[in-house]
């Protein structure tokens, strides 16, 4: 028997083709998107505007199954972190940051990561597998329809586990669903891909989808970046900045991108580094997001003092860059990259987590 397809991860385009094969009109695609992603209904029997014959046919060839929530953690600050179980049993993280005006969801695109950045808990775990598009969009579905909070997700960041641009097809398919007016209808400003710099895929990204881009730079020169973000050996800073400029140019209205820079004590946090960074970024339309290093079990790096981080920030602001330094809330989240799963396997819970429960 043929394996059933999981329609949760199908974009409008894919659903249209799927229904065409069944000799059904294309408006079925919109109906299905709306049931799944606007009403949160995944039981085909409840989809009353699909006739009974079609529903029966669908049930023999397709399923609509979200990934499972394995565990929930709630931090003191209200940030919620989830361990999500994939079809294979592998576990990834998802983080929900509730704020007054927005609800941001940090999603994973891979279980583990092959790129081994020296400051990253996910990198330390190595690569396990790519997520399917249903497992990526499934995180947003769970956050909107399964988790007990009454506000829909307004912003998505691909800052959980994995390198999104190394799971290109599935990530693009999931983003198409996020943006579609028949499903979540999120604008490009509300969806951010964070990448360590997979240059060939940054170059083709504009052809496939229009989203916000964040670059995990973390070092102002190739020598240091080769060391802490090893993919830089393959795609050095100059080619990366060039690809970013092209991405921005591909769209008519003015865009900026975000440069992420983790501050690690005695590694990349001196005033000299700040000066080099400012020089490097002068001609790039960007804002800078400084992230205090979050330590994890097995890492020797430290977070710089607040005073030192502020000197770094002030220098960049003085040079005209919009620069933010996250100190509390978002902190726990950006730094969540791979840390919960790592913690779980070491049976050590992060200190900010005050309660956890199985779902
Ligand atoms: N692979 C992508 C997206 C996932 S990482 C990327 O590298 O951009 C998401 C963000 O979390 C990146 O900016 C990453 O550098 C950051 N991050 C990873 N480990 C961290 C740590 N220990 N402390 C603070 N930020 C960290
Ligand atoms: Fe992978 Fe991003 Fe972690 Fe680097 S920072 S190891 S690219 S997940």
CA 310 to ligand 2 centroid distance, Å: 25
202 found inside a domain = yes
Instruction: Select, from the ranges 27-31, 74-78, 248-252, the one with the highest average predicted confidence (pLDDT).
Output: 27-31
Strand partners, 291: 262
Q: Are residues 229 and 301 in the same domain?
A: yes
Q: Are residues 46 and 161 in the same domain?
A: no
Ligand 2 proximity of 339 Cβ (cutoff 6 Å): no
DSSP letter at 37 equals I
Ligand 1 proximity of 291 Cβ (cutoff 6 Å): yes
Q: Are residues 78 and 220 in the same domain?
A: yes
Report the run of H or E that residue 286 belongs to, with start and end.
strand 286-292
Q: Are residues 34 and 118 in the same domain?
A: no
343 found inside a domain = no
353 found inside a domain = no
Q: Are residues 74 and 203 in the same domain?
A: yes
Q: Are residues 201 and 250 in the same domain?
A: yes
CA 265 to ligand 1 centroid distance, Å: 16
Give the three-state DSSP class for 160: coil
Q: Are residues 121 and 256 in the same domain?
A: yes
Q: Are residues 10 and 98 in the same domain?
A: no
Task: Determine the pLDDT at residue 334.
Answer: 43
Q: Are residues 30 and 86 in the same domain?
A: no
Q: Are residues 31 and 130 in the same domain?
A: no
Question: Which residues in 53-124 belong to E strands, given as ranges?
Answer: 62-63, 68-75, 80-85, 91-98, 103-106, 110-112
Mean pLDDT of the 58-70 span: 97
Mean pLDDT of the 212-238 span: 98
Nearest-CA residue for atom 5 of ligand 1: 159
> Which atom, in ligand 2's list, is nearest to the CA of 122?
3
If one counts the domains in the chain, the total is 2
Q: What is the CATH number of the domain that holds 264?
A: 3.20.20.70
Q: Are residues 220 and 296 in the same domain?
A: yes
Q: How many CB atoms lie within 10 A of CB 123?
A: 23
Question: For residue 227, is pLDDT > 60?
Answer: yes
Task: Determine the pLDDT at residue 26.
Answer: 95
346 found inside a domain = no
Cβ(8)–Cβ(134) under 8 Å? yes
354 found inside a domain = no
Task: Determine the pLDDT at residue 329.
Answer: 46
Q: In this structure, what token pair is assigned to residue 359? A: 């779902």
Question: For residue 338, is pLDDT > 80?
Answer: no
Q: Are residues 170 and 21 in the same domain?
A: no
Cβ(238)–Cβ(217) under 8 Å? no
Angle between helical axes of 271-281 and 306-318 (0-180°, round to 10): 30
Cβ(50)–Cβ(58) under 8 Å? yes
Cβ(139)–Cβ(174) under 8 Å? no
Q: Which of 258, 265, 334 to mutate to test the pocket of ligand 1 (most atoms within 8 A of CB)?
A: 334
Residue whose tokens read 């079990």: 297
Ligand 2 proximity of 120 Cβ (cutoff 6 Å): yes
Owning domain of residue 59: 5-63
Question: For residue 89, is pLDDT > 50?
Answer: yes
304 found inside a domain = yes
Q: What is the CATH number of the domain that holds 32?
A: 1.10.150.530
């Amino acid at each position: 028997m043929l394996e059933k397809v999981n329609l949760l991860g199908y974009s409008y385009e894919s659903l249209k083709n799927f229904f065409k094969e069944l000799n059904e009109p294309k408006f079925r695609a919109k109906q299905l998107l709306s049931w799944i992603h606007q009403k949160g209904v995944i039981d085909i029997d409840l989809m009353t505007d699909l006739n009974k014959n079609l529903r029966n046919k669908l049930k023999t060839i397709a399923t609509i199954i979200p990934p499972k929530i394995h565990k929930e953690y709630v931090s003191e600050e209200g940030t919620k972190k989830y361990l999500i179980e994939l079809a294979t049993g592998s576990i990834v993280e998802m983080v929900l940051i509730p704020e007054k005006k927005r609800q941001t969801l940090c999603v994973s695109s891979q279980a583990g990561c092959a790129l081994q950045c020296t400051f990253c808990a996910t990198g330390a775990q190595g690569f396990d597998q790519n997520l399917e598009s249903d497992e990526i969009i499934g995180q947003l579905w769970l956050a909107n329809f399964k988790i007990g909070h009454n506000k829909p997700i307004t912003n998505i960041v691909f800052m959980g586990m994995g390198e999104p641009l190394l799971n290109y097809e599935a990530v693009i398919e999931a983003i198409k669903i996020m943006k579609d007016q028949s499903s979540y209808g999120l604008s490009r400003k509300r969806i951010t891909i964070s990448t360590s710099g997979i240059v060939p895929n940054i170059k083709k990204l504009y052809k496939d989808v229009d989203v916000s881009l964040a670059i995990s730079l973390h070092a102002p020169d190739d020598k240091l970046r080769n060391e802490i973000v090893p993919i830089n050996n393959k795609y050095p800073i100059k080619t990366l900045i060039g690809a970013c400029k092209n991405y921005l140019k591909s769209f008519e209205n003015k865009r900026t991108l975000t440069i992420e820079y983790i501050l690690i004590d005695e590694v990349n946090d001196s005033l000299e580094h700040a000066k080099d960074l400012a020089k490097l970024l002068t001609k790039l339309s960007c804002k800078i997001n400084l992230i205090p290093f979050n330590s994890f079990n097995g890492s020797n790096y430290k977070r710089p003092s607040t005073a030192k981080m502020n000197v770094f920030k002030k220098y960049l602001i003085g040079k005209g860059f919009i620069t933010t330094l996250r100190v509390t809330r978002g902190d726990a989240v950006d730094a969540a990259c791979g840390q919960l799963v790592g913690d779980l396997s070491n049976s050590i819970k992060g200190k900010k987590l005050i309660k956890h429960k199985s779902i």
